[in-house]
Chain A
Amino acid sequence: QSVLTQPPSVSAAPGQKVTISCSGGSSNIGNNYVSWYQQLPGTAPKLLIYETNKRPSGIPDRFSGSKSGTSATLGITGLQTGDEADYYCGAWDTSLSAGVFGGGTKLTVL
């Protein structure tokens, strides 16, 4: 059971927009920054979003992050088949004094 809760799967057509939610609590998302990772099949995770809404160099602006209260959202616009991957949210949990991840969301681009 993950500390952060994500939907197991989402899907959308190429060119469309999709959002992936990540729900937590006051000890993690509610009071700390959120990060998001993309994991393509058979590869290591890759940082997509840090400090809740910032993109590392090289990440296209099709990817965006936001937060409201104890929930965070990853948005992906202009979906491409190459975006098919597992997506994970992460944060620091102050009560646990530990990093925590969501269970992951599998994105299918139909």
Chain B
Amino acid sequence: QVQLAQSGAEVKKPGASVKVSCKASGYTFTSYGISWVRQAPGQGLEWMGWISTYDGDTKYAQKFQGRVTMTTDTPTSTAYMELSSLRSDDTAVYYCARNVLEWISYSYNCYMDVWGKGTTVTVSS
């Protein structure tokens, strides 16, 4: 079945970087993009960015520009999200999601149909 398996929980100090992985299975990896979404404790969903698994094109939320890097490794069907210069307010659960992003009938169609279980990142001194 279609699955996204994420790497385990991380504890980092302020100023450090974290790299979370997301291994896809059960479908053709390069047929769908991957988005990363985070959720701080008790808060809502926050879209961080999207990567095309076909050509590596990326779109990042302005808030994370310069601090986030999304990459993929096609042979292993794995997507990565690296966040640098970590702060305490980066403490959150980070989700990867299979993302359809397409232009149809003069409109953008964007939705996330398969989600990983999430990776908890704790930033604390």
B111–A45 CB distance below 8 A = no
**Chain B interface residue count, Cβ-Cβ cutoff 8 angstroms:** 30
Q: Is B46 an interface residue (CB 8 A)?
A: yes
Q: Residue of B at shortest CB range from A6?
A: B44
User: Residue B110 contacts which of A2, A44, A45, A91 (CB distance < 8 angstroms)?
Assistant: A91
**Chain A interface residue count, Cβ-Cβ cutoff 8 angstroms:** 29
User: Residue A51 contacts which of B111, B116, B117 (CB distance < 8 angstroms)?
Assistant: B111
A-B contact count (CB 8 A): 82
A90 to chain B, nearest CB (A): 7
Contacts of B59 in A (CB 8 A): 97-98
Using a CB–CB cutoff of 8 Å, the interface residues on chain B facing chain A are 35, 37, 44-47, 49-50, 59-62, 95, 97, 99-101, 106-118
Using a CB–CB cutoff of 8 Å, the interface residues on chain A facing chain B are 2, 31-33, 35, 37, 39, 44-47, 50-51, 56, 86, 88, 90-92, 94, 96-104
